[in-house]
Amino acid sequence: MSVPTDDSGADETLSEEERRVVDSISNLGSQWRLLVLYDLQNSEKRFNELKRSTGASSRTLSRVLDDLQEMGHVERRLEEDAPVATYYSLTAKGESLCPVFDELEKWSKKWEADSAADVNSSE
């Protein structure tokens, strides 16, 4: 894959498949979006739970959740009974990313272990 060093001609140098991968990563690629999606894998969470678990500021988390809702990855559920609460969960589109996160975890564990072994063998 030939990725240009600047934005000029990017669409001309990438195949359709390469462009889809790059576009997908670009759309999801912010640290906060990925962290929120990853955090919502196992259960729906309230705003403050997500804020604590991700470490995002209220402003950042609010913006990210709005973006993810607009993209169709996250849904918002408002429970109006006292106490009023807002819950966020993955949509089917968001859940379809769970296997990707699983594979990334496996990949990082493998290479983290390999990197540690390389460091230990060079000592």
What is the signed CA dihedral for 64, 68, 73, 77, rounded to 10 degrees? 80
Calculate the average pLDDT of the chain: 85
Give the C-alpha separation, 65 to 16, whole Å.
29
Q: Which amino acid is present at 111? A: W
Domain boundaries, the chain: 20-110
Task: Dump the DSSP string for 26-46.
Answer: HHH-SHHHHHHHHHTSSS-EE
Give the count of alpha carbons within 13 A of 65, CB side only.
24
pTM for the model: 0.74
pLDDT at residue 2 above 50? no
The CB density around residue 97, as the number of other CB atoms within 10 Å, is 19
pLDDT digits (tens, 9 = 90+) for 24-52: 787 777 889 999 999 999 999 999 999 99
Token pair of 53 as six digits: 């678990």
The predicted structure's pLDDT at residue 116:
64
pLDDT digits (tens, 9 = 90+) for 72-111: 999 999 998 888 899 999 999 999 999 988 998 898 888 8
- Write the CATH number of the domain with boundaries 20-110: 1.10.10.10
